[in-house]
Amino acid sequence: MKLGKVVGSVVATRKHELLVGYKLLIVRQLKPGPDGSLIPAPGSSEFTVAVDLAGAGVGEIVLFTTGSPARNSASDSSESPVDEAIVGIVDSTDVNGNEVC
């Protein structure tokens, strides 16, 4: 699992039938900073679109998973196009003894 912050949403009126009914959110991956705070993770995959399985909203810190665990969480079908899924909303985090959020 990874930590991320929901920074936006995606509206797709035409999409794969197994995605119908799911909210799609843009998530920016986070990592612990030098001072223990959560900062954006560098790299080309820092933003991703994830299926929301937890009822998250913009601005929330979330747990998300990728690959087969995301696909299995979102659907019983191996044909599911899901590659990232939000599986939890974070209440608080503790990094090196510092409560971050």
Are 97 and 32 within 8 A, CB to CB?
no
CATH number at residue 59: 2.40.50.220
Is 62 inside any structural domain?
yes
Backbone angles phi, psi at 73, to 5 degrees: -70, -35
pLDDT value of residue 44: 61
Is 101 inside any structural domain?
no
Q: Model's pTM, two decimal places?
A: 0.88
Is 99 inside any structural domain?
no
Side chain identity at 21, as an amino acid letter? G
pLDDT value of residue 101: 67
Length reported for the chain: 101
Is 100 inside any structural domain?
no
More confident residue, 95 or 25: 25
With helix as H, strand as E and coil as C, how does the chain read? CEEEEEEEEECCCCCCHHHCCCEEEEEEEEEECCCCCEEECCCCCCEEEEEECCCCCCCCEEEEEECHHHHHHHCCCCCCCCCEEEEEECCCCEECCEECC
Is 98 inside any structural domain?
no
More confident residue, 31 or 55: 55
Domain containing 25: what range? 2-93
How many separate domains does the chain show? 1
Q: What is the C-alpha to C-alpha distance for residues 31 and 25, in angstroms, rounded to an integer?
A: 19
Is 26 inside any structural domain?
yes
Q: Which of 14-23, 39-48, 87-96 has the lowest mean pLDDT?
A: 39-48
